[in-house]
């Protein structure tokens, strides 16, 4: 099966930056500029469109400060979509609108308690599905995902995650069997057989890249990482992500690629 994170993709779900975004869950105290976050989100959306994706918008909701991080609400596996059960209470209702839209597009399944999962913990690499066991995602979710995918060729592999919010904060798939990662956050032996780009120290944030139709979007200001990705033969575009970084989010978090 071809990867859903890379290769040829046509549509992305996105959700507007809410007025309340500066009250999102986060681990730093830097002031968030919501208007600037909106401009960066616009640039992000424009970049996806330029790379050939059409956008499907989820209705915005100012009562959900983290709702622009739509990746965490659902995961798509070909014609199936799994709606997440999000552990953090203030985010749990984000799935309501996403489930409505997804129900029109895909055969949907729900992750149910006691399982909790955020989409940012699910890294799909061809027929392997790595699931970060993190502060947000537990082993019950792995069991339920395995059930959803039991009639597919996909192999679900749990991976303990440390130091970062989600597995994809530390590792993303670029396509052509190459992943990019920052060391020290999970056991990289699980990635056996794959090409690996290790982000240099100080550029850890750049490990969350978004590969779309042969182009890799990376966060602006990571020159060494850019060189490494280009050396592997990928075309690279940079996007300013300062306001999403302050909210502990990165490039993959702002969309669900279908």
Give the number of C-alpha atoms closer than 13 A to the C-alpha of residue 64, restricted to the C-beta side: 24
CA-to-CA distance for 179 and 101, rounded, in angstroms?
30
Site string for ligand CIR, 59-78 (x = CB under 6 A): -------x--x-xx------
CA-to-CA distance for 250 and 201, rounded, in angstroms?
18
Q: CB under 6 A: which stretch of 126-134, 166-174, 189-197, 216-224 binds ligand CIR?
A: 166-174
**Site membership for ligand CIR, residue 247 (CB under 6 A):** yes
Least distance CB 44 / ligand CIR (angstroms): 14
CA-to-CA distance for 8 and 35, rounded, in angstroms?
32
Least distance CB 70 / ligand CIR (angstroms): 9
Please name the residues in contact with 55: beta carbons below 8 A apart, sequence gap of 6 or more.
11, 12, 13, 14, 45, 48, 49
**Site membership for ligand CIR, residue 25 (CB under 6 A):** yes
Among 40, 138, 169, 255, binds ligand CIR (CB under 6 A): 169
Number of residues that bind ligand CIR (CB under 6 A): 18
Residue of 13, 101, 119, 23 whose CA lies nearest to 62: 23
Least distance CB 157 / ligand CIR (angstroms): 19
Beta bridge partners of 60: none
Please name the residues in contact with 88: beta carbons below 8 A apart, sequence gap of 6 or more.
25, 136
Q: Residue 168: in which H helix or E strand, if any?
A: helix 167-170
**Site membership for ligand CIR, residue 24 (CB under 6 A):** yes
Q: CB under 6 A: which stretch of 23-31, 52-60, 142-150, 172-180 binds ligand CIR?
A: 23-31
**Site membership for ligand CIR, residue 204 (CB under 6 A):** no
Instruction: List interacting residues with ligand CIR (CB under 6 A).
Output: 24-26, 66, 69, 71-72, 91, 120, 165-166, 168-169, 247-250, 253
């Amino acid at each position: 099966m071809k990867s859903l994170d890379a290769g040829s993709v046509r549509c992305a779900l996105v959700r507007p930056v809410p007025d309340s975004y500066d009250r999102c869950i986060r681990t730093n105290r830097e002031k968030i500029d919501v208007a600037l976050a909106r401009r960066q989100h616009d640039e992000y959306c424009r970049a996806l469109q330029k790379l050939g994706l059409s956008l499907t918008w989820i209705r915005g909701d100012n009562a959900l400060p983290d709702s622009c991080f739509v990746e965490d609400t659902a995961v798509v596996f070909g014609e199936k979509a799994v709606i997440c059960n999000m552990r953090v209470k203030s985010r749990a209702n984000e799935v309501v609108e996403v489930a409505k839209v997804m129900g029109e597009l895909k055969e949907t399944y729900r992750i149910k308690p006691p399982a909790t999962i955020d989409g940012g913990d699910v890294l799909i690499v061809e027929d392997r599905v790595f699931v970060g066991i993190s502060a947000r995602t537990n082993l019950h979710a792995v069991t339920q995902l395995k059930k959803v995918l039991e009639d597919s060729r996909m192999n679900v592999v749990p991976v303990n995650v440390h130091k970062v919010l989600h597995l994809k904060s530390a590792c993303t798939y670029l396509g052509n069997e190459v992943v990019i990662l920052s060391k020290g956050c999970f056991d990289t032996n699980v990635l056996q057989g794959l090409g690996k780009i290790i982000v240099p120290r100080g550029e850890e944030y750049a490990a969350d890249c978004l590969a779309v139709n042969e182009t890799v979007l990376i966060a602006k200001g990571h020159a060494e990482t850019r060189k490494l990705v280009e050396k592997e033969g990928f075309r690279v575009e940079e996007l300013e992500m300062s306001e999403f970084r302050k909210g502990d989010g990165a490039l993959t978090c702002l969309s669900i690629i279908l």
